[in-house]
Amino acid sequence: MPENGVPNRDDEEEGVVPATAAGTGAAGAAAVGGASQAGGGGGAGTAVVDNKLIPEWDVDEDDQVLAAGLAVLAAMLLLFGWSAWRGGDDESPLAEVVPVTAEADDDDEPVIEEEAVVDEAPTTTEAPVETTIPAALDLTPDVAAAVGAFGISGFADDETAILEGFVGNAGESESAEQAAAEVPGIISVDNRLVVLQPDVQAALVAAGVGDAEPSVEGTVATAIGVVGNEGERASALEAAGAVTGVTEVIDRLRILQPDVITALGEAGVADADASVTGTVATVTGVVASEADRAAALAAAAAVPGVTEVIDQLTVRPAVAEELNNLVSLDPIQFATSSATILDVSFGTLDAAAEVLLASPDVELEVQGYTDVRGAEDANLALSQARAESVRQYLVDKGVGEDALIAVGYGETTQFGEGDTPEALAANRRVQFVQE
């Protein structure tokens, strides 16, 4: 370098830059320092070192440092805003202080460490949630209303409906349970209902009712079945009414005794009667023959509800035999040598009329006889007259005229031997013969 301090052209060519060209401040100092270090390496020449952050950027080194710091600050602010927008995540890296260090300039100014101010995300404190447990609903009114039509009691224990009381049959019990189950809030039903129909049926059977099939609705029982007589009917109704829960009993029991007596009469049984206990009938009366007896027993057994028939029927002997038994015990007496009937014989003839009236289809011959005393012709005429007197008496009592024929046989038949009073009396008679 010339003594005057002005560089010559050769110096420029060797790349020596005056200090004024290198700039002042931190950049110049850096350049000088760098040159001195380079010169210590043997004095081959002085090299100029560029300390810009971005050498290609045509901006002073100080301005580049300032711009870099502003860029970092802007980035931090941008990240902080993003974190705040997301809700203040405590784990955001911006929560920490990021130091920014500025390099010393050429004038050896102190290094300033700047801290990025990061606003902490606001802390949100949620108020404690108060949990209120609602009181359990009382479903008793709803359950009671749902089953009220069945005449029973219903109440609720939490979510369980409880049913108590009496119902007539299983169908009513099921319907009441279904009605309770449909109440909103009910999840189960405790069915404690008492069904009355089985208890009423058991009571009727124990009272001797046959074919007992009672119908029970609510607490009203209808007694259905058969009993032997009025006494059994009263006992059965009382038994049904005594069942716990039954408030009324409707009588539809059928009494067998009148039906059995009617059946016997239609079968031709005279003086028909029957004693019926439960479903067992004991029949009495008079029939004309064994065939009539069998028919009468069959008629009694055919009565609905009768399970057994006890035969106490009497078979009447033939009408003629029955009439002859009457007059044999108490012979018909006439005035001496006359066809006039004495009053003492009216009772016998009245009984004979009843026998004939019970057998209207029977045709009989009324026969008259005399003893051997007197003329034969006279005795024949007398026997005819006496037979006609008996026939007329019976007709007057209501026996059909066509049912009797009067015939006199005189002394042609002798029923007693000899001429003793007893033998003569035995030959003076009227008797009946069935045609």
DSSP string, 292-327: HHHHHHHHHHTSTT--EEEEEEEEPPPHHHHHHHHH
Chain centroid, CA 226 distance in Å? 28
Q: Return the bridge partners of 341, or none.
A: 334
Q: Where are the domains of the chain?
A: 20-121, 140-195, 205-252, 258-315, 319-434
Rounded CA separation 298/264 (Å): 9
Rounded CA separation 259/306 (Å): 10
Reference 180, options 188, 168, 172, 171; nearest CA is 188
Superfamily of domain 140-195: Fe-S cluster assembly (FSCA) (3.30.300.130)
The backbone torsions φ and ψ at residue 383, rounded to the nearest 5 degrees and listed phi first, read -65, -35
Chain centroid, CA 96 distance in Å? 78
311 Ramachandran zone, left/alpha/beta (phi>0; psi -120 to 50): beta
Beta-sheet pairing, 220-227 with 215-217: antiparallel
Q: Is the dihedral of CA 320, 322, 328, 333 positive or negative?
A: negative
Rounded CA separation 402/425 (Å): 30
Q: What was the pLDDT predicted at 134?
A: 56
**One fold for both 258-315 and 319-434?**
no
pLDDT tens, residue order, the chain (435 aa): 444 444 444 444 444 434 433 333 433 333 334 333 334 434 444 444 456 666 666 767 777 778 777 878 878 877 766 565 555 444 544 444 445 444 445 555 555 555 555 555 556 556 565 555 555 679 999 999 999 999 999 999 999 999 999 999 999 999 999 999 999 999 999 999 999 999 999 999 999 999 999 999 999 999 999 999 999 999 999 999 999 999 999 999 999 999 999 999 999 998 999 999 999 999 999 887 889 999 999 999 999 999 999 999 998 778 888 899 888 888 898 888 889 999 999 999 999 999 999 888 888 999 999 888 888 899 999 999 999 999 999 999 999 999 999 999 998 777 777 677 777 777 788 999 986
Residue range 319-434 in CATH 3.40.190.10: no
Reference 432, options 404, 399, 402; nearest CA is 404
State in words which class domain 258-315 has. Answer: alpha beta
Q: What was the pLDDT predicted at 109?
A: 53
Q: Return the bridge partners of 252, or none.
A: 224
Reference 289, options 308, 265, 270; nearest CA is 270
**Which residue spans within 358-403 are E strands per DSSP?**
364-368
Strand, coil or helix: 426: helix
Q: What was the pLDDT predicted at 198?
A: 97
Strand, coil or helix: 64: helix
Helix, strand and coil content of the chain, in percent to the nearest 5, comes to 40, 20, 40
N- to C-terminal Cα distance for the chain? Answer: 199
